[in-house]
Structure 1
Amino acid sequence: MSEKNSGFDLETVKKLADIVKSNDLGEITVVDGDKRISVKGKVCLAGSAPAPVTAAPAAPASAPAVSREEKASGNSVKAPIVGTFYSAPSPDAEPFVTVGKTVKKGDTIFIIESMKVMNEVLSEFDGVVKEIMVSDGDPVDFDQTVMVIG
Structure 2
Amino acid sequence: MKIDEILQLVDAVSKSTLTEFKYEEGAVKLSLKKTIKTVPAEAALEPVLTIQAPAAPNQPASSPANPAPAAAAASDPAGEETVSAPAAEGKIVKSPLVGTFYAAPSEDAAPFVNIGDSVKEGQVLAIVEAMKLMNDIESDYAGTVAEVLVENGDTVEYGQPLFVIK
The aligned amino acid for 2:143 is G
Flag structure 2 segments of 5+ consecutive residues without an equivalent: 12-27, 29-68, 72-83
**Are residue 113 (structure 1) and residue 129 (structure 2) matched?**
yes
C-alpha spacing 1:127/1:82, structure 2 compared with 1 (3 Å): same
What CA distance in whole angstroms lies between the structure 2 residues aligned with 1:125 and 1:78? 12
SS at match of 1:80: coil
- 1:147 CA drift (Å): 1.0
- CA displacement, residues 49-97 of structure 1 (integer Å, 9 cap, x when unaligned): xxxxxxxxxxxxxxx8465452x31001110000000000000001001
What CA distance in whole angstroms lies between the structure 2 residues aligned with 1:146 and 1:19? 24
The aligned amino acid for 1:141 is E
RMSD: 2.6
The sequence identity of aligned pairs, in percent, is 46
C-alpha spacing 1:94/1:18, structure 2 compared with 1 (3 Å): same
What CA distance in whole angstroms lies between the structure 1 residues aligned with 2:107 and 2:153? 10
What CA distance in whole angstroms lies between the structure 2 residues aligned with 1:65 and 1:131? 22
Flag structure 1 segments of 5+ consecutive residues without an equivalent: 1-13, 25-36, 38-63
Q: How does 1:55-134 map to 2 (within 5 A)?
A: 65=70, 67-68=84-85, 70=87, 72-134=88-150
What CA distance in whole angstroms lies between the structure 2 residues aligned with 1:104 and 1:69? 26
- CA displacement, residues 27-64 of structure 1 (integer Å, 9 cap, x when unaligned): xxxxxxxxxx9xxxxxxxxxxxxxxxxxxxxxxxxxx8
The question of whether the paired residues in 2 share the 8 Å contact of 1:69 and 1:145 is answered with no
C-alpha spacing 1:99/1:18, structure 2 compared with 1 (3 Å): same
Q: TM-score, normalised by structure 1?
A: 0.58
- 1:130 CA drift (Å): 0.5
Structure 1: which 4+ aligned runs deviate by more than 6 Å? none
What CA distance in whole angstroms lies between the structure 2 residues aligned with 1:143 and 1:17? 19
C-alpha spacing 1:65/1:89, structure 2 compared with 1 (3 Å): farther
- Which residue of the other structure, out of 145, 149, 159, is the alignment partner of 1:143? 159
Q: TM-score, normalised by structure 2?
A: 0.53
What is the match of residue 60 of structure 2?
Answer: none
What is the match of residue 19 of structure 1?
Answer: 6
Q: How many residues align?
A: 99
